[in-house]
Amino acid sequence: MEKPITDAPISHFSQSTAFRRTLTRAIVYPLGLLIAVTAVFLWQLNSILQITQRVEHSNVIITQASVILNLMVDMETGLRGYWITNDAQFLDPYEEAQAKLESELARLRALVADNDSQTQNLNQIVERIANWRQYAANSLASKTDGQGYTSATWQRIGKEIMDGIREQLATFVEGEDQLRTERIHSAQSTSQFIIIMVILSGLVAGGILAVMAQGWLLQLSRTYERALITSSQQAEEISTQREWLRGVLSSIGEAVIATDMDGTVTFSNQVAAALTGWPIEEARGKPLATVYKVIHTKAAEPPSDTTTTQEVLLSSTDSKRLLTRQGQTIAIDDNTADIKDAHGKRVGTVLVFRDVTRRDQIEQERLRLIESQRRYADLLRRSNEQLHQFAYIASHDLQEPLRMVTSYLQLLEQRYATSLDADAHDFIGFAVDGAARMKELITGLLTYARIETDDQTPHTLTSLQTVLDKVLTNLAAPIADSGTVITQDALPELPADSLQMMQLFQNLISNAIKFRGEQPPHIHIGAEATKDDWHFWVQDNGIGIAPDFQERIFGMFQRARHRSDYAGTGIGLAICKKVVERHHGRIWVESTEGAGTTFHFTLPLENSVP
C-alpha cells in the first residue's frame, strides 16, 4: 500500500513558527525603536545638562570675581579712612579683606583652571593686586614713622593701581560673561534640536511601525488562511495515515500486537492471528495475557569442553515459547516498545514477535557441525602427537644400530689394517661415510620434528644480538679456517624462541661459508624495521644459486649442488623455513649464479625493542 503524502505536521509547525516570529517582531521592533529614540533623547538631554552646568559655572566665576573686587574696595576704603582720620579703627575693613583675599583668589583660580585665557587674565589681576597690597603696606609703614607720602601722592599712586585692577577684573568678567552667553545660546539650540528630533523620531517610528504592522497583519492573514485551507485536509489525511499504518502492520512479515495502558489488545495483524490462533476481531478487547501466552524455558548456557553434543543442543533451545490457542508451542523471539503520544507520554505498548523455529533448527545444525569439528580437531591433534612421538622414537632407535655399525667397521679397519687390501679399505670408508650421512639425516629429521612439536610454546623477548654472538662462537672454527669476514647491523629484541633463532642464523651463515667462491667469504647480516615487521637478510659473495633451484631449496632433501661437491643433508633450509613460519614470518632468496646470494626473512614488529 502506498503511503499517503502529507505535510500537516510541517504546516502546523510552520504556522506556529510564523506566529511566534510575528509576535516577537511586534514586541521587539517597537521596543527597539523606543530604546533608540530614548537613547537619542537622553543623549541630547545630557548635552543640555552639561551646557547648563557650564552656564552655572560661569555665574559662579563672575560672582567670585565680584567678591574679589568688593574685597579690594573694602581694603581701599579702609586705607583711605585711616589716612583721612588717622584713626586705626578705619583699618578694620582693610584687615578683614586682607585676611580673606588669598583664599578667595585661590578659589577663583581653581574655578578657571580649565580655561587658559581666563587663567592668564587672573594671573595679571593677581599681579596688580600684589602691587596694590605692596603699595598699601608701604603707605602704612611711611605713615607710622611720619615720613609718608603726601595726600596727593597717595591718591595718585593708589588710584592708578586700583583703576588697573578694576579694568582687569572688568575684562575678566566680560570674557566669562561672553562664555556664559554662548553656552546659553547652545542650550537653547540643543533644546530646539531635541524637540525637533523627538517629533521626527516619533513620526518615523510611527510610520515604520505602521508599515511593519501592516506587513505582519497581512502575513498572519495569509498564514491562517493557509491554515484554514489545510485544516480540513488534515483530518482526512490523519484518517488515511491511520488506515495506511494499519495496512502496513497487517502486511509485514512479523507478528504485531498493540495494547492500551491497561494491557488490553487494541490491534493485531494477520501474522499474530496465525501464530496465536486468535482471529483479529476476537483478540481485540482481550487482555494481552490471554492472547499472548509465553512459556519460559531454561536459558541457554555456553558449552564447556566437557559438554556433550546432546547437552549443547538442549541448552541452545530458545528461552521463550508461545502457547497457541490450540495448545501448541512455537519457538519465538519478541521485542516490546512503549507507544507515546506527541507529548512523550506513554499511552500503550507494541509487541513484535516472530517464529524462530527454522532458526533454531539451523542453530542446532550449526552446533552439531561445531561439535564434529571439535571432535575431528582433537583426533588430528592426538594423531600429530603420536606421529611426532613415533618419529622421535624411530629416529632414536635408528641411531643406535648406526653407531654400532660405525663402531664395528672402524674396529675392523683398525685390527685388520695390514690384512686388508686397498679395495677393502675403500669399502669400509664408504660404509662409515654412509652411516655418518644417515646419522646426519636422522638428526636433521629430529630437529625438524622438534620444531613442529614446540609449535605451541609461547615466545619470550629474545635478543637477536645475543643469539648471533652465540652462533658466531659456535662457528668460530670454520670462520677462521675459511678467512670469513662478517659484518652486521644492530639487531633488535623481539618475542621468539632463542634456540630456533640460533638454528636459523647458524644454518644461513654455515651455508654462506660452505658455498663460497675463490675469494674469502664476506657475509653481512642486515636488519631494518618496516611498517609491519622486521626485515632481516644474510648476504654473501659466494657461488650463488641457479634460478631453477631458488624455489626448491626450501623443500626437504633439496640441494642446489651435488653432494660430491658440497657436503650436507638438504634439510637445513627446510628447517629455516619452518622456524620463520612458526614465528609468523616468511623467507625467500635472491641470487645471481656466480655473484653471491642473499637470504631474506621477516619477523613480526609487534612488541619488539629496537
Domain identity same for 140 and 208: yes
Query: Residue 203 region, left (φ>0) first, then alpha (ψ -120 to 50), else beta?
Result: alpha
State the pLDDT at residue 323.
86
Domain identity same for 463 and 537: yes
422-453 helix and 357-415 helix, angle to the nearest 10 degrees = 160
Q: How far apart are CA 422 and CA 428, in angstroms?
A: 10
Domain identity same for 522 and 594: yes
Q: What percentage of the chain has pLDDT greater than the value 90?
A: 9
Number of structural domains, the chain? 4
Q: Which of 426, 455, 484 is the last residue of a domain?
A: 455
**Which range (72-81, 310-319, 394-403, 580-589) has the least confidence?**
310-319
- The residue among 351 and 312 whose pLDDT is bigger is 351
Q: What percentage of the chain has pLDDT greater than the value 70?
A: 68
φ/ψ of residue 563, rounded to 5: -65, -30
CA 479 from chain center: how many Å?
58
Residues ≥6 apart with Cβ < 8 Å to 445: 391, 395, 571
State the pLDDT at residue 464.
93
- The residue among 576 and 357 whose pLDDT is bigger is 576
- The residue among 566 and 517 whose pLDDT is bigger is 517
Residue 523 pLDDT level (bands cut at 50, 70, 90): very high
572 is in which domain, residue-wise? 457-604
Give Cα separations from 515 to 21, 307, 428 (angstroms). 93, 57, 29
- Only one residue has cell 507494541, namely 350
Domain identity same for 551 and 442: no
CATH number of domain containing 398: 1.10.287
Q: Which of 355, 378, 409 is the last residue of a domain?
A: 355
| Residue 243, domain member (yes or no) | no
| Residue 145, domain member (yes or no) | yes
State the pLDDT at residue 431.
66
Q: Is the pLDDT of residue 190 over 80?
A: no
**Which range (45-54, 212-221, 370-379, 383-392) has the least confidence?**
383-392
Is residue 78 within 8 Å of 92, Cβ to Cβ?
yes
Domain identity same for 407 and 554: no
φ/ψ of residue 446, rounded to 5: -60, -45
Domain identity same for 192 and 330: no
State the pLDDT at residue 15.
58
**Which range (7-21, 521-535, 582-596) has the least confidence?**
7-21
pLDDT digits (tens, 9 = 90+) for 199-256: 777 777 777 777 776 676 677 667 667 767 777 676 677 667 666 666 666 667 788 8
State the pLDDT at residue 508.
92
Domain identity same for 75 and 220: yes
Sign of CA dihedral 289, 293, 294, 295: positive
State the pLDDT at residue 603.
92
Q: Is the pLDDT of residue 559 over 80?
A: no
CATH number of domain containing 349: 3.30.450.20
pLDDT digits (tens, 9 = 90+) for 34-67: 787 677 767 767 777 777 777 777 788 888 888 8
**Which range (171-185, 327-341, 458-472) has the least confidence?**
171-185
| Residue 151, domain member (yes or no) | yes
Is residue 258 within 8 Å of 267, Cβ to Cβ?
yes
Q: Is the pLDDT of residue 534 over 90?
A: yes
Residue 76 pLDDT level (bands cut at 50, 70, 90): confident
**Which range (78-87, 302-311, 556-565) has the least confidence?**
302-311
Domain identity same for 376 and 299: no
Residue 283 pLDDT level (bands cut at 50, 70, 90): confident
Q: Is the pLDDT of residue 257 over 80?
A: yes
**Which range (78-82, 153-157, 269-273) has the least confidence?**
153-157
Sign of CA dihedral 37, 39, 43, 46: positive
Domain identity same for 384 and 461: no
Residue 388 pLDDT level (bands cut at 50, 70, 90): low
| Residue 27, domain member (yes or no) | yes
CATH number of domain containing 589: 3.30.565.10
| Residue 362, domain member (yes or no) | no
| Residue 246, domain member (yes or no) | no
State the pLDDT at residue 430.
60
The number of C-alpha atoms within 13 Å of 235 and in the hemisphere containing its C-beta is 4
* CA-wise closest residue to 398 among 372, 346, 437: 437
Residue 279 C-alpha cell reads as 482471529
- The residue among 415 and 448 whose pLDDT is bigger is 415
* CA-wise closest residue to 381 among 455, 311, 312: 455
Is residue 322 within 8 Å of 289, Cβ to Cβ?
no
**Which range (238-252, 311-325, 347-361, 373-387) has the least confidence?**
311-325
State the pLDDT at residue 457.
58
Domain identity same for 331 and 397: no
Q: How far apart are CA 20 and CA 12, in angstroms?
A: 12
The number of C-alpha atoms within 13 Å of 448 and in the hemisphere containing its C-beta is 22
Domain identity same for 173 and 76: yes
State the pLDDT at residue 167.
84
**Which range (134-148, 366-380, 463-477) has the least confidence?**
134-148
In which element (H, E) is residue 418 found? none
Q: Which of 400, 432, 455 is the last residue of a domain?
A: 455
State the pLDDT at residue 1.
44
Q: How far apart are CA 103 and CA 98, in angstroms?
A: 10
Is residue 516 within 8 Å of 482, Cβ to Cβ?
yes
| Residue 17, domain member (yes or no) | yes
Q: How far apart are CA 361 and CA 365, in angstroms?
A: 6
| Residue 236, domain member (yes or no) | no
State the pLDDT at residue 344.
83
State the pLDDT at residue 436.
59
Q: Is the pLDDT of residue 317 over 50?
A: no
Domain identity same for 222 and 320: no
